[in-house]
Amino acid sequence: MFDQLPAYADDPILGLFEVYKADPRPFKVNLGIGIYCDEAGQVPVLESVRAAREAGVGARGPSVYLPTEGGEAYRDAVRELVFGKNADDIVVVQTVAGTGALKVGADFLKGVLPDAAIWMPDPTWANHAAIFAGAGFRVENYPYYAKETGGFDLDGAVSALQKLQAGSVVLLHPCCHNPTGVDPTQAEWHALLDVIEQRGLLPFFDVAYQGFAHGVDEDAWAVRECVRRGIACLVASSFSKIFSLYGERVGALGVHAPKADKARLLGQLKLAIRRSYSCPPALGAALVEAVLSSPASNAQWRAELDAMRGRMREVRTSLHRKLGEALPGRDFGFLVAQNGMFSYSGLSAAQIEALRSRFGVYVVSSGRICVAGLNASNISHVCEALAEVCS
Ligand code: PMP
């Protein structure tokens, strides 16, 4: 019965992480997996989160099941974080991190729009296609990244969206596009939302890095503008990176459906969760809820987020300067123009292989570099390696 199982090709990013871990070279540098590391090269424990933990949040009492949709205080805190104040008509459910939010949203939508296709930016996070195909969607791409300019292909995206059938789902990254780091400007967002509105399309926002581009509220701008226009949309949120709680699996799905009966909408989301994993995990959500709902902890967390963002900007500036010195005449402006943890380098497969085998510098096969893996002690090695393989 099980003798013809196909081999699992392994996730390209997680697979590379395993190879990195097994590499004995002391100077190895991991620019593959999307994990934010601090200046010491460590995954940080945020002070705001540590304080909540030390105050005993999540540590007391028996471990009971959470409600299917998550606790009310958590859902309220997340609603305000993502959608701002006065967003009471948005239905938010807790999910198993960002991936779980995408999966619950996909399963829910498949029930409502059984024949709809989903259109994703080209390129996008590889798991997007897997999640939606797994939920039974036809997965298509719209142009996003313009190779010639290293920027956003607004014309390509708009003309592709203009041709879509009403009710088509459109996946969007409101900030820190993964893998390119290229984000639309506000004017470009207006142009995208205009087409979405005119064509009756359904945006599905994936927000995995809120606060890593310009700030918590600034990075939610596209989502909030979509809601302000009265456009129905779904929003998947991940708190893995912005609370540095990767293993706790904390996230949420928000649904803005102005004409829907809210109790029924919540009921359908609960159904999608119940038959998938029944109810979400408790500890991480308790920590996020505690941090967000105390004004002092919330302010402390925002300051920590500002510091993470600032460090990534500094790393980008420093990489830009050092590479400019090592390879004069080449334009590395994209490094400082892009947002968030990722930079699309344009490195070839042979260059990526040489980086790994000769210099122990790990970059995923798309050429995406995680700049949050760089720090003062490894950046010179990485620049020398890059200069060597690029010259
Ligand atoms: N969406 C995007 C764009 C991501 O980059 C990631 C993490 N790599 C996720 C969703 C999922 O994050 P998680 O499930 O760890 O919260």
List the single range of 189-193, 223-227, 233-237, 345-349 with lowest mean pLDDT: 345-349
Q: What is the pLDDT of residues 118-157, one digit of tens each?
A: 999 999 998 999 999 999 999 999 999 998 888 999 999 9
Q: How far is the CA of 31 from the centre of ligand 1 (A)?
A: 16
99 CB near ligand 1 (under 6 Å): yes
Query: What pTM was computed for the model?
Result: 0.96
DSSP letter (8 states) at residue 246 = G
34 CB near ligand 1 (under 6 Å): yes
Nearest to 145, CA basis, from 120, 182, 170: 182
180 CB near ligand 1 (under 6 Å): no
If one compares 358 and 60, the residue with the highest pLDDT of the two is 358
Residue 37's pLDDT is 95
The DSSP bridge pattern shows strands 233-238 and 202-207 to be parallel
Question: Hey, which of 16, 35, 43, 99 would you mutate to test ligand 1's pocket, going by the most ligand atoms within 8 Å of its Cβ?
Answer: 99
CA 242, CA 301: separation in Å to the nearest integer?
9
Stretch 238-265: mean pLDDT:
97
Q: Element (H or E) spanning 14, and its range? A: helix 12-22
DSSP letter (8 states) at residue 373 = G
Task: Specify which residues 253 forms β-bridges with.
Answer: 93, 236
CA 125, CA 52: separation in Å to the nearest integer?
32
98 CB near ligand 1 (under 6 Å): yes
Any idea which residues carry the catalytic annotation? 125, 206, 241
Q: How far is the CA of 102 from the centre of ligand 1 (A)?
A: 9
Q: What is the pLDDT of residues 289-305, one digit of tens each?
A: 999 999 999 999 999 99
Confidence of residue 391 (pLDDT cuts 50, 70, 90): confident
Residue 59's pLDDT is 77
Helix (H, G, I), strand (E, B) or coil at 174: coil
Residue type, position 120, single letter: M
Residue 217's pLDDT is 97
CA 134, CA 123: separation in Å to the nearest integer?
19
Helix (H, G, I), strand (E, B) or coil at 95: strand
Nearest to 71, CA basis, from 280, 328, 357: 280
Residue 272 tokens, joined? 């999608």
Cβ contact 334:343 at 8 Å? yes
Summary count for the chain: helices (H), strands (E): 15, 13
Show the CA angle centred on residue 67, arms to residues 63 and 72, nearest 5°: 105
Instruction: Report CA 201 to chain centroid distance, whole Å.
Output: 22
120 CB near ligand 1 (under 6 Å): no
Nearest to 237, CA basis, from 251, 255, 256: 251
Residue nearest to atom 6 of ligand 1 (CA): 208
Residue 39 pLDDT greater than 90, yes or no: yes
Q: Which ligand 1 atom is the nearest neighbour of the CA of 99?
A: 14
Confidence of residue 14 (pLDDT cuts 50, 70, 90): confident
351 CB near ligand 1 (under 6 Å): no
Which ipTM was obtained for this model? 0.99
> Contacts from 33-37 at CB under 8 Å and sequence distance 24+?
33/370, 34/178, 34/241, 34/341, 34/342, 34/370, 34/372, 35/241, 35/246, 35/370, 35/372, 35/373, 36/241, 36/244, 36/308, 36/312, 36/341, 36/372, 37/372, 37/373, 37/375
Q: How far is the CA of 156 from the centre of ligand 1 (A)?
A: 25
Show the CA angle centred on residue 277, arms to residues 273 and 283, nearest 5°: 100
Cβ contact 122:156 at 8 Å? no
Neighbours of 101 (CB within 10 A): 26
Confidence of residue 253 (pLDDT cuts 50, 70, 90): very high
Stretch 72-82: mean pLDDT:
98
Helix (H, G, I), strand (E, B) or coil at 94: strand
Q: Which ligand 1 atom is the nearest neighbour of the CA of 97?
A: 16
DSSP letter (8 states) at residue 138 = E
Residue nearest to atom 13 of ligand 1 (CA): 98
